[in-house]
Amino acid sequence: MTANFDANEKKGFRLLTIYERLLKGGEINKSALADEFGVSPKSIQRDIEALRVYISEKDFYDADSFIEYDRAKNCYRLVKAEREWFSPDEILAISKILLESRAFSKDEAETLVHKLLSQASPDMAHKIKEFLKSDLYSYVQPLHGKDIVKHIWQLTEYISNCRQITFTYTKQDLSVSQRTVNPVAIMFSEYYFYLAAIDCNSTNEYPKNFRIDRIENIAPTGQKFSIPYSRQFKEGEYKNRIQFMYPGKLSTVRFKFNGNSLEAALDRLPTSKVIEKNKDYAIVEAEIYSEGVKRWMLSQKDGLEVLSPEWFREEIKAEIQKMANNYKLLYKGE
């Protein structure tokens, strides 16, 4: 805008400024604002009354949002429905999780935190940023260093519209292949976002997991797909049963646990339940995909013993023996 506002433009600019400050948790002092805009306190009072009417009509379904006057501080502030807005403590918690996940490039992580902070008042935003200062400074982005937010949204659109897509995919060994898939879900695990998709060139009806940062040249094929309801991918159930994004065979595994933290073990396996417990150990059962949980169990081998199924117990024992043999070779210097 130019400096040559007419009366209506000045009022509109003033109203937007007041509303924005209120939305961010700011406190409005009528006299101070009148001096800032070069108008009378009565003009500011009329602005506040106009905003009160606007908020009451906009949020007619929710009486929890309104402008109140604080006599002790001689200011106005917006009381917001808690379920509709992030509070400062929620912004801090979400920002900490976002940074600890290390899922994004440094630029994307800083942008996302900045947008979260913009929902708080300037004073609170500054305070939260101070708490996050060390996290932001020490943030280490994943090695791929790619911006992935737009790719995630692009893939989500294809999933929502049941559109078949093709893309080039780089595997861990750096080999590149062309894939044609029916995308069904976006998931996150251990620093990376994954696309779960049914490979159109495979007879396997279960989805494969593709790291999104390794996907390039995404394009729709022009084909749409449909999945019978009985076979539709249930993302929540799948995530509760998979570890480290390795599928394997879906099995009910029972094991004895006497490690340091039973609570951590149960949180690691969302489908788990304690069958038996005493002061020395707990018997736990979980429905889980075998390949991923095998990797976790091997890291817990000193405090965990697989009881069933038999085939899985034998696989774990064989892996432990293999690890022991490799250690002996290393110790001998061979």
d(CA 284, CA 297): 13
Three-state SS for 247?
Answer: coil
What's the confidence (pLDDT) of residue 269? 84
What's the confidence (pLDDT) of residue 4? 55
Model pLDDT for residues 165-176, shown as the tens digit of each residue: 999 999 988 899
Tally the residues of the chain: 334
Tokens for 115, please give them: 């947008």
How far apart, in Å, are the Cα atoms of 254 and each of 42, 266, 290, 293, 326?
A: 73, 13, 12, 12, 27
| pTM greater than the 0.85 cutoff | no
For the cut 90, the answer to whether the pLDDT of residue 96 exceeds it is yes
**Mean confidence (pLDDT) of the chain:** 83
Task: Assign 293 a pLDDT band (cuts: 50, 70, 90).
Answer: confident
CB neighbours of 55 closer than 8 A, spacing ≥ 6? 65, 66, 67, 78
For the cut 90, the answer to whether the pLDDT of residue 108 exceeds it is yes
CB neighbours of residue 288 within 10 Å: 27
Helix orientation angle between 122-138 and 106-117, rounded to the nearest 10 degrees: 160
